[in-house]
Structure 1
Amino acid sequence: MGILGSMFTGVSGLATNGLALSIIGDNIANTNTSGFKGSRAVFADVLSQASTGGSAMQIGRGSQMLGVQQLFTQGTFETTANPLDMGIDGDGFFVIKEYQGGTFYTRAGQYLLNKEGFMVSPQGLRLQGYLYNDAGNPTGAIGDINVATVNSNPNSTDTMNIQVNLDSRSTVPTAAWSVSPTTGAAPGSYNFQTNITIYDSLGNAHPVGVYFRRTSTPGQWEARIVADTGLSGSPNYVEVGGSPITVTFDTSGQLTSPLTATPISFPWVAGWGAVTPQSVNIFFGYAGNNSTQYGSPSTTIFQTQDGWTSGSLRALTVGQDGILSGVFTNGQVKNIAQVTIAKFTNPAGLTKMGRNMFAESSDSGQPAVGSPGTSGRGKILANSLEMSNI
C-alpha cells in the first residue's frame, strides 16, 4: 500500500466516525423527546490487502459503517396531568393513521381530542383502537377512536331498595290515611317518611315518597307508595300499587315480611311520552341487610335504585388494558374504545419516518395488532409519558 492508499485509509476513519458523531448528536438532541428511541452506529473494517502474500502481511484498508441500529430499550416514565397521555410498559407500539392515508407506529403517547372528537397525536394522526357500541360492548372492529357522539342513554328504574329502621316505640296515628293530590302531603296519618327518585324510560325523574304507618298489630306496619303521576306544573299525587304493603317484624326487630320483591305499577300520564305503566320492584332490604324495628328513632339506613337520566361526556379515563372509558354527567361510566398495540418480530427493522413515527418494512415483518397486555404486548400506563431511552 502506497502513501495515497494510506491517506484514503485515514480518510475512511474520519468519514465513518463523522457519521457516528452525527448519530450521537441526534441522540443528544432528542434527550427530552417523548418516546424517542436512540440509535448507534455499527462499524466494520474494510477488506484487507496483502502487501506480498499470505495472511501474515495483510494490511487493513480503513473502516466502514455497516448500518445504524435502532435501540428499543424501555425508557423511563414521567407522570402528567393529561388523562389521555399514555405510555406502553413493555413491547409494542401505538397505531396511528393519517386521514385517508398511511398507517404508522409510535411509542410517543401524547394524545388529545381534536375539534371533531378524534383522539389524535400532536401531528394530527388518529389513534386506532377496538370500537365499542352504544351499550359499551366491543364490536370487534378496529378504527379511529372518536368520542364526539358518545353519550349515556337513560335507563328506566326496575328495582328500588329501601332499608330503614322503624321506631318500635311509635304509636298508631290517630288520623286516617289521606294524601293531598296537589302536594303529596299526608299530615298526621303516618309515622315515618323516606323519599327516593326513580326514572322512567325517557330518563324523566320522578320523586317517590314511601310512608310507613304503624298498625294496631304488634310488629306490623303499612308501607304506602306515593308518586306524582301528573304533568309538570299539574301535579297529581296518588298512592300507587293499589293497596299498602304489609311490613312485619319479629320480636327481635328483624324483618319477616316481605322478604322478596313487591312489584309496584306507576301509571305515568301519557303526556310524558314514556312507557306507562312502569313496573318497579321494591325491596325493604336484602338477606342480612334488611329493614329493622328497633327501639331507636326511625331513620333511612340505605336506599338505592337502578335507573338514571341521560348524560353527556364529562371526562375520560384509560385503564392498563387500554380501555377508554367515559365518565358522564349522570354518574355513569361506559367503555368507549380500547387502544390497540402493534407488535413486530423485528422492531429494529422498522423504517424511521421522523416526528416520532415508524413505518412497517420488509425487515420488521408485519404488525400483530391486539389488546394491551396480551400475547407479549405491554400494558398501558395512563397519565404517563415514556421518555427518551438515551
Structure 2
Amino acid sequence: MTLDLRADPIALTAALVDIPSVSRDEDAVTAAVETALRTQTSGFEVMRHGNVVLARTDRGLPTRVVLAGHLDTVPIADNVPGRFATENGAEVLYGCGSVDMKSGDAVFLHLAATIADPAHDLTLIFYDCEEIAAEFNGLNVIERELPEWLDADLAILGEPSGGWIEAGCQGTLRVRLSTTGVRAHSARAWLGDNAIHRLAPLLNRLSEYRAREVDIDGCRYREGLSAVRVGGGVSGNVVPDAAEVEVNFRFAPDRSVDQAVEHVREVVAGLDLGFEITDSAAGALPGLTAPAARGLVDAVQAHGSAGVRAKYGWTDVSRFAARGIPAVNFGPGDPNLAHKRDEHVPLTQITAVTDMLRAYLTKDSSDVDRLR
C-alpha cells in the first residue's frame, strides 16, 4: 500500500490500520513507511535496520527532538480493515492499532512531510515488536546496535494519552515471596504446617499498605504494591508444604530499582519469607523543566483542551530517561481502549495532537499563539 504522508493524518491513520502488522509480522507496514519517507520528505537521511525505519535531519539546529512510535499491534480481532463511525455525536475510527499506536505514527509521519521550517532537527524512529517480550523490541535493538540514533534534547513517544502530555513513567518490580511448611494428610492436618496459611501475615500487610504519592515537575505519581498471583498446594487432601505470592510494585520515578527493592524488603521485614526478584524496570523522570520539554508543555497548554499529567505504567520513555534525555508520552487515543476488540480513536484527537505538535516543532512562534 502507498501511504500519502501529506494527506490528512486521519486518512493516514486509516491507511496504516488497514495494513496488518501483528508483532513479528511487520514487513509490509515497515516497507510502506520506509518508501513513503524516502519519496515524500526532504532533508531526511532514511535507513532501515531490520524492521525499524529511522530518519533524521541534520540542519544544524540548536536542538533535536526524537519522534518514536511502534508499528506493531496485538493480534487482530476482526477489527482490520478499520471503519469510521459516529459514537455519541463524535466521529471515530475503529480498528486494531487505531489507538495503540497508529494514530500517533500517522501524526509523526504527516508532520515530517509537511513542516517546512522546523525549530528542531528531527529524528524519527518507527519500530517493531513493542507488544511482545522486551528482548524483541525494535527500540531495544536500536539502543544496543545504533545508540547514537537515540541522542536528542527531548523524546516524544506516540503512546496513546488522550492528547495530554503523560510525563515520564512508573518503574515496575516483581518479587516472588515464598513460604515453606510441613506436608501432611488433610484429615490429620495437625501433623503438618500449612504453607498457605503462613502467607496470612504477608497478605494482611499488603491489604493495609498505604501507597505513597509524590509530585515531580507538577506531575503526581501514586505508587502501588499489590499481590498479583498466589500459588500453592498439590492435592485436595494434602496440607501444602510450599506456597508463594508474586508481588508487583509500581513505583514513582524518583526511586531507583535498588531503592524499590529495599522498600519492598522493608514492607515484609520480620516475616519468614523467601525473596526472589523476577523482573524489574526503572521508571522515567518527567524532565519537564528541560527547555525542550518546556516548549512542548507551552504548545499543549496553549491549545486549552489538554495539559500535563503523570504516566501510570511503564513505557519505552524509560530507555531515553536512562540516557539523560527528557521523554514524554503524547498521542491521540484513550489508553484504556488499547488492545480491545472495539479499539477506536476520536478523529478530533488526531487533529488536535497534530496541531499541538506542529506548533511545537515549527519556528513560527505564532503557531503557539494561534492555539491560545
TM-score by length of 2: 0.23
**Structure holding more helix per residue:** 2
- TM-score (normalizing by structure 1): 0.23
